[in-house]
Amino acid sequence: MSNAGTVVILAAGAGTRFLSRKPKVLQPLCGRPMLGWILDQARALSPERIVLVLGHGADEVRAAVEVDCAAMGATAAERASLRFVLQAERKGTGHAVLLALPELAPSDPVVVLYGDMPLLRTESLSALCAARSTADAAILTAVVSKPRGFGRILRHAGEFAGVVEEQDASAEQKRITEVNLGVYAFARADLERCLPRLTNHNTQGEYYLTDVPAMVLAAGGRVRALELEDEREAIGVNTIEHLSEARRELQWRILAAHMARGVYIEDPATTFIDHGVTIAAGARILPCTVIRGGVTIGAECEVGPFTHLRAGTVLAAGAEVGNFTEAKNAHIGEHTKAKHLSYLGDVTIGHHANIGAGTIVANYDGKQKHRTLIGDRAFVGSGSVLIAPCQVGAGALTGGGAVVTRNSNVPPGEAWVGVPARPMKKKEQSS
């Protein structure tokens, strides 16, 4: 059984405080747009439908959702469950959900999420849905040290009594530290009844969704307010500074998940691993390492220190990539080593090869990128430059400082040296 009938994601904001033309919900966060994390929250509730209310940059946001669905392997049914609603004129959160009403699934509850709250955990949202099953509506709250713009929770005898927005709060109410997160679970019937009756008689001139719980109470219903145990889940991202706060928390969750699966991360404080990275148990990640999304690392690999692995890079079991080495779209074979000061771009390297210090795989000719092949047990000497496309055969060797030019093919077992690299002549045996 679904936890939610519909999840509505409010994602219409422009994010003007970012000073960026990119929509706020598409700001990057640990290797994916921020909205991707909210889509994960929605999917975790197994809803019948997910309705996204879009506004600023709607076409760009919709395209990003399609990309996220592809990256997460969404099924045809999951894609079909997505609905998009345009809020061309932003008149508040209540207005946004009102526009979404025709797209709601017939079953309850309707869960409302925000496109700029990436840290909410599945457990918290499941608890919200469970609370709604014993009441007419439920909301998430948090006691925070810095309320910074959140509406304050009003209680009477411990029970929820309403929400007052900060702009409309009295000085006494502004001292309340329990805040409304704007995350709700409603019955569809209550939304259909209450949303058309909202007014914009407030300092912002907007239709507040926060007025709906009070309307449910006034009709004799019960509203449960659930306080989060960890206020970090309540971080809302409205500035670049807030984005950095969210990144720190999500980064720790990513690192902790890898460590729980048997990955040795020597110094989490200096290790950056994006969403969408696969690392096998037994791998070692050393300090000051950056691993971007779309990287796969096999068992017993060693990465770092000061290593940058970019999308498309695959390290087979036992491979070692070390100090100040960058790899992009590189397939590195079992027990191959690239330990020092190298750039490995668009390259396939076989097993048990050695990539000497200072090696550059020059993959870009100024217009296109080309691929390089390095065979099993090859030895690429220090300071070699391999100009793609080219090949270094199995067991072949390049001498220190060799420049293997474009379209060259170092045959298996041969040694090439010089600039440009040519086969090394055998010394004549003395008579």
340 is catalytic: yes
Residue 175 gets the label, from left (phi > 0), alpha (psi -120 to 50) or beta, of alpha
Contacts for 105 with CB less than 8 Å, ≥ 6 apart: 5, 6, 47, 48, 49, 188
φ and ψ at residue 319, rounded to 5 degrees: -70, 150
Distance CA 18, CA 14 (A): 9
Given a contact cutoff of 8 angstroms between Cβ atoms, the answer to whether 346 and 371 are in contact is yes
Let me know how long the chain is. 431
Catalytic residue among 56, 95, 242, 340: 340
In the block, tokens 């030019």 appear at 405
Distance CA 257, CA 261 (A): 6
Could you tell me how far CA 53 lies from the centroid of its own chain? 20
Helix (H, G, I), strand (E, B) or coil at 28: strand
Distance CA 351, CA 334 (A): 5
Half-sphere exposure for 106 (CA within 13 Å, toward CB): 0
Count other C-beta atoms under 10 Å from residue 200's C-beta: 14
Given a contact cutoff of 8 angstroms between Cβ atoms, the answer to whether 343 and 326 are in contact is yes
Active site residues: 340
